[in-house]
Amino acid sequence: MNTHELFFRQLFDYETWTYTYLIADPETREAALIDTVKEQVERDLNLVKELGLHLKFVMETHVHADHITGADEIRHATEAKGVVGFGTHVACADIRLDDGAHVELGRFRIKALATPGHTNGCTSYLVAGRVFTGDALLIRGTGRTDFQQGSSSGLYDSITQKLFTLPDETLVYPAHDYRGVMVSTIEEEKKFNPRVGGGKTKEGFLEIMANLKLAMPKKIQIAVPANLACGSPPSPGKPEEAPSIRQG
Ligand SMILES: [Fe+2]
């Protein structure tokens, strides 16, 4: 491992086309997993163990509708704290990051950017020149906005007013890609994203989103309730609300 740079691994779940990310400070060995998948918990924990990392955080960009998170299982198997964004009210999160707030991962800061629209609680995480955009900004696409308190207008604002103001060279890592593309940049998405790039207006975006006519995700009926409990059935003993960390 290069001790100066953020350690980074991109992992893939072939059932749900989900990317999970493992990041770490190679010097302090502190690590975080972003957007885990329940069926892949063993894979992820094995990798963390093999690499001698200490898992500090298991983070969610939002409450997923297409797969069940491994967050709660991982929290129980390790000392990792569950981290979610400002508007994600799940019973099992330990830390809720408001817009602009951050957590520290060794020498690195993971900053939360509120990017609602796909869901009302979507948060992107910015660290060391990479942004993990969940289902807000996808590669040459965006998340859908037709359920989970989605808002096309809100998503357009989140992408154009927040994500597109990041430096052009910022690497974009989404929660999914259905064509096998693994990474993009803010510059590329500003130029080529067919929904929000190339100067697309909000009106144009609203029209595209209103006419997508997508089928519901196969797992939505089980995934959303399960993910509100971070992948485990809710237990009455758990705290209702995580403490919120404000701008920092
Ligand atoms: Fe999603």
| Ligand 1 centre distance from Cα of residue 3 (Å) | 33
CA of 118 to the centre of ligand 1 (A): 7
Reference 172, options 147, 151, 203, 197; nearest CA is: 197
24-55 confidence digits (pLDDT tens): 999 999 999 999 999 999 999 999 999 999 99
Taking the centre of ligand 1 as the mean of its atom positions, its distance from the CA of residue 62, in whole angstroms, is 7
Q: Is the pLDDT of residue 243 over 70?
A: no
Instruction: Tell me how far the alpha carbon of residue 221 lies from the centroid of ligand 1, in angstroms.
Output: 13
Give tens-digit pLDDT for 193-213. Answer: 999 999 999 999 999 999 998
pTM: 0.94
User: What is the spatial distance between Cα 6 and Cα 108, in angstroms, rounded to a whole number?
Assistant: 8
In the reported structure, the alpha carbon of residue 2 is separated from the centroid of ligand 1 by a whole-number distance in angstroms of 33
Phi, psi angle pair for 208, to nearest 5°:
-60, -45
| b/e burial code for range 48-73 (CB count within 10 A of at least 16 → b) | beeeebebbbbbbbbbbbbbbbbbbb
Give the residue, 119 or 244, on which the prediction is more confident: 119
Reply yes or no on whether the pLDDT at 233 is more than 90.
no
Q: Which two tokens stand for residue 234?
A: 């809710």
Distance separating alpha carbons of residues 123 and 35, to the nearest angstrom:
11
Question: What separation in angstroms does the CA of 120 have from each of 45, 85, 145?
Answer: 30, 10, 9
Distance from the CA of 173 to the center of ligand 1, in angstroms? 14
- Quick count: other Cβ atoms within 10 Å of Cβ 199? 9
**Residue count (the chain):** 248
Q: How far is the CA of 70 from the centre of ligand 1 (A)?
A: 15
Average pLDDT of 119-146?
A: 97
29 CA to centre of own chain: 22
Average pLDDT over residues 216-236: 83
pLDDT digits (tens, 9 = 90+) for 154-190: 999 999 999 999 999 999 999 999 999 999 999 999 9
Ligand 1 center from residue 57 Cα (angstroms): 20
User: How high is the pLDDT of residue 45?
Assistant: 98
Rounded Cα gap, residues 33 and 77, in angstroms: 13
Cβ(184)–Cβ(166) under 8 Å?
no
SS (H, E, C) 118-144: CCCCCEEEEECCEEEEECCEECCEECC
CA-closest candidate to residue 186, choices 162, 205, 202, 209: 162
Residue 237: pLDDT over 50: no
